[in-house]
Structure 1
Amino acid sequence: MAASSPAGSAFSPPHNPNTTSRLHLPSSTDPPSETNPPTQKVWLVFGATGHIGRSLVKCALSHGDNVAAVGRTLENTMPQMQGWHERCLGLLCDVRVRATVRSVMESCIDRFGRIDIIVNCTGYGVIGACEDQDTSDLRSQFDTNFLGTLNIIQLSLPYFRHLASTSSSSSTTTTRSDTDPANPDPAPPSNAGRYLIFSSTSGALGVPGLGPYCATKYATEGLIESMLYEVDTFGIKATLVEPGHMRLDEPTGLDDKASDNPLHPSSSSTTTSSSTAQPQPQAQGQAHNMTKLRHYSHFLVKKPSPPYDTPTAPAGHAGRVVQWLADRQPTSAVKSAELVWQLGHCRYPPLRLLLGSFAVESVRDRLRSIIEEIEDWKFLHFGSSAVEGEGGGKEKGGEEEEDGDGMKIEGEGEMEMEMEGEEYGVEGGEAEAGAEVKEEEEG
Structure 2
Amino acid sequence: MDAVHSPNVVSVAGSESTGKPKLQLPPSCDPPAPGVPRKPLVWVVFGGTGHMGRSLVKAALSHGDYVTTVGRVHESTPESMIQDHENCLGTLCDVRQKDSVASVIQKTLTRFGRIDCIANCSGYGVIGACEDQDEHEIRNQFETNFMGTLHIIQCTLPYFRQQNGGRYLIFSSTSGALGVPGLGPYCATKYAVEGLVEAMLYEVDSFNVKATLVEPGLVRRDEPDHMTNPLPTWGHFLIKPASEPYSHASSPALHAKRMVQWLGDRQPTSAVKCAELVWQLGHCSYPPLRLLLGSYAIESIRDRLRSVTEELEDWKHLNFPVAPDAPGADRLDKDGKEDKEDKEGQGERDDRDEDRDEDMGDSVSPSQGDVQMKSEGT
Q: Percent identity?
A: 62
Partner deviation per Cα, 1:119-172 (whole Å, 9 max, x = no partner): 0000000000000000000100000000000000011110000101xxxxxxxx
Answer whether contact 2:118 2:169 (CA < 8 A) is retained: yes
- 1:95 is the counterpart of 2:33: no
Structure 1 spans left out of the alignment, 5+ residues:
3-13, 165-191, 254-267, 274-294, 398-443
Aligned position for 1:269: 228
Q: How many residues align?
A: 321
- Give the TM-score normalised by structure 1: 0.69
Aligned position for 2:355: none
- Of residues 339, 346, 358, the one that matches 2:284 is 346
Answer whether contact 1:15 1:62 (CA < 8 A) is retained: no
Quote how far apart the aligned CAs of 1:296 are.
Answer: 5.6
> What SS does the aligned partner of 2:316 have?
helix
Quote how far apart the aligned CAs of 1:38 are.
Answer: 2.8
- 1:226 is the counterpart of 2:199: yes
- Of residues 220, 223, 230, the one that matches 1:250 is 223
Aligned position for 2:260: 322
Aligned position for 1:194: 167
One-letter amino acid of the structure 2 residue matched with residue 72 of structure 1: R
Aligned position for 1:301: 239
Quote how far apart the aligned CAs of 1:34 are.
Answer: 4.4
Answer whether contact 1:53 1:121 (CA < 8 A) is retained: yes
Instruction: State the superposition RMSD in angstroms.
Output: 2.3
Quote how far apart the aligned CAs of 1:388 are.
Answer: 7.8
Q: Distance in 2 between matches of 1:55 and 1:15?
A: 18
Aligned position for 1:23: 23
> What SS does the aligned partner of 1:130 have?
coil
Q: Distance in 2 between matches of 1:19 and 1:306?
A: 55
Quote how far apart the aligned CAs of 1:327 are.
Answer: 1.8
One-letter amino acid of the structure 2 residue matched with residue 368 of structure 1: R
Q: Distance in 2 between matches of 1:312 and 1:252?
A: 35
- Of residues 362, 382, 387, the one that matches 2:300 is 362
Q: Distance in 2 between matches of 1:380 and 1:54?
A: 51
Aligned position for 1:381: 319
- Give the TM-score normalised by structure 2: 0.80
Aligned position for 2:161: 161
Q: Distance in 2 between matches of 1:309 and 1:151?
A: 37
Answer whether contact 2:15 2:22 (CA < 8 A) is retained: no
Q: Distance in 2 between matches of 1:20 and 1:144?
A: 39
Quote how far apart the aligned CAs of 1:35 are.
Answer: 7.8
One-letter amino acid of the structure 2 residue matched with residue 138 of structure 1: I
> What SS does the aligned partner of 2:309 have?
helix
Partner deviation per Cα, 1:207-256 (whole Å, 9 max, x = no partner): 00000000000000000000000000100000000000001111037xxx
Q: Distance in 2 between matches of 1:74 and 1:271?
A: 16
Q: Distance in 2 between matches of 1:35 and 1:227?
A: 34
Quote how far apart the aligned CAs of 1:325 are.
Answer: 1.2
Structure 2 spans left out of the alignment, 5+ residues:
3-12, 321-335, 351-378
Flag the 1:20–1:44 CA change in 2: closer, same or farther, 3 A: farther
- 1:126 is the counterpart of 2:85: no
Q: Distance in 2 between matches of 1:148 and 1:327?
A: 32
Quote how far apart the aligned CAs of 1:99 are.
Answer: 1.0
Write out aligned runs for 1:55-70 (5 A): 55-70=55-70
Write out aligned runs for 1:24-43 (5 A): 24-34=24-34, 37-43=37-43
Aligned position for 1:83: 83
Quote how far apart the aligned CAs of 1:330 are.
Answer: 1.1
Answer whether contact 2:168 2:211 (CA < 8 A) is retained: yes
One-letter amino acid of the structure 1 residue matched with residue 235 of structure 2: S
